């Protein structure tokens, strides 16, 4: 199976369209998996849901999905995120709200465990430290897990160089194409974060996603250019917070 793994789409239709076009351009996809935060921040929540639900699609719940469907409140969101989430919620119909409400917190598919934040705290944890990775490895029953939420592509390797328990982490360097491909070999356990489709925060404004090939046993990380100005114009029309509009240009 050839699976596109997307995270933090955040209602950015131009970005998710570009990602699916890129992924299908190489070879047909068998499925699309989402690591949550389908909505929030961006201007086209319903269009993004319709496009993704039209695929063979599985998703876990993110904090923005649960807030937009009134499962959790936005007390812990910053003001711009809360305002954009309320606007996103106002755009959804009852079917879309109930779809978001029904998303599972974790999934296990094709030897991969999926969570938005982490297995320990699927909705809220930012998995960016070695201690956090150790807690995740402890809870993993599969050899591999995918997480999102941080909007920064990252791979944790169990038993790698350095780190407390011999774990290591690396950010992906897209200038070196071979560094964007991870082979799933041997006994080594990995935690993989594909980065964000709709609001990257690693200084690279291009949409980020990964392709998991179950036959080749590889995960290949990609960056895709998209029409940022198209999303920004829709955000201006929706009167979404200026800071959220501007950050898309900088990938921050
Ligand atoms: Zn997010």
* pLDDT at res. 221: 92
Span 237-249, pLDDT tens digits: 999 999 999 999 9
pLDDT band at 192 (very low <50, low <70, confident <90, very high): very high
What is the arithmetic mean of pLDDT over 150-162? Answer: 83
For residues 78 and 178, the model is more confident at 78
Within 10 A of 74 (CB to CB), how many other CB atoms are there? 19
* pLDDT at res. 159: 76
* pLDDT at res. 52: 98
Span 5-16, pLDDT tens digits: 999 999 999 999
* 137 CA distance to ligand 1 middle (Å): 22
* 189 CA distance to ligand 1 middle (Å): 25
Decide if 182 contacts 194 (C-beta within 8 A).
Answer: no
What is the arithmetic mean of pLDDT over 96-104? Answer: 98
Which of 70-79, 95-104, 173-182, 201-210 shows the lowest per-residue confidence on average (mean pLDDT)?
173-182
Span 63-94, pLDDT tens digits: 999 999 999 999 999 999 999 999 999 999 99
Question: Which domains, and CATH codes, for the chain?
Answer: 2-247 (3.60.21.10)
* 51 CA distance to ligand 1 middle (Å): 19
pLDDT band at 53 (very low <50, low <70, confident <90, very high): very high
Long-range contacts, stretch 131-139, CB < 8 angstroms, 24+ apart:
131/164, 133/163, 133/167, 133/169, 133/191, 134/164, 134/165, 134/167, 136/191, 137/167, 137/189, 137/191
Cα–Cα nearest to 133, from 125, 92, 76: 125
What is the arithmetic mean of pLDDT over 210-215? Answer: 94
What is the arithmetic mean of pLDDT over 179-199? Answer: 86
pLDDT at position 45 over 70:
yes
* pLDDT at res. 143: 92
* 252 CA distance to ligand 1 middle (Å): 12
* 106 CA distance to ligand 1 middle (Å): 16
* 130 CA distance to ligand 1 middle (Å): 21
């Amino acid at each position: 199976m050839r699976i596109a793994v997307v995270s933090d789409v955040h209602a950015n239709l131009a970005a998710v369209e570009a990602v699916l076009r890129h992924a299908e351009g190489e070879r047909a996809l068998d499925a699309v998996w989402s690591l949550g935060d389908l909505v929030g921040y961006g201007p086209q929540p319903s269009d993004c849901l319709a496009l993704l639900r039209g695929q063979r699609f599985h998703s876990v719940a993110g904090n923005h999905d649960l807030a937009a469907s009134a499962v959790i409140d936005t007390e812990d969101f910053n003001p711009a995120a809360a305002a954009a989430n309320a606007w996103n919620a106002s755009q959804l119909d009852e079917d879309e709200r109930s779809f978001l409400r029904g998303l599972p917190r974790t999934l296990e598919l094709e030897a991969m465990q999926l969570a938005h934040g982490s297995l320990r705290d699927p909705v809220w944890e930012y998995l960016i430290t070695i201690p956090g990775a150790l807690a995740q490895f402890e809870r993993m029953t599969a050899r591999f897990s995918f997480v999102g939420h941080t909007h920064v592509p990252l791979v944790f390797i169990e038993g790698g160089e350095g780190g407390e328990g011999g774990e290591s982490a690396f950010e992906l360097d897209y200038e070196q194409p071979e560094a964007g491909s991870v082979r799933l070999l041997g006994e080594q356990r990995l935690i993989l974060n594909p980065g964000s489709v709709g609001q990257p925060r690693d200084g690279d404004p291009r949409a980020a996603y990964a392709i998991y090939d179950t036959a080749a046993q590889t995960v290949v990380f990609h960056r895709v250019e998209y029409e940022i100005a198209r999303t920004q114009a829709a955000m201006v029309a929706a009167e979404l917070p200026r800071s959220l509009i501007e950050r898309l240009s900088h990938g921050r």
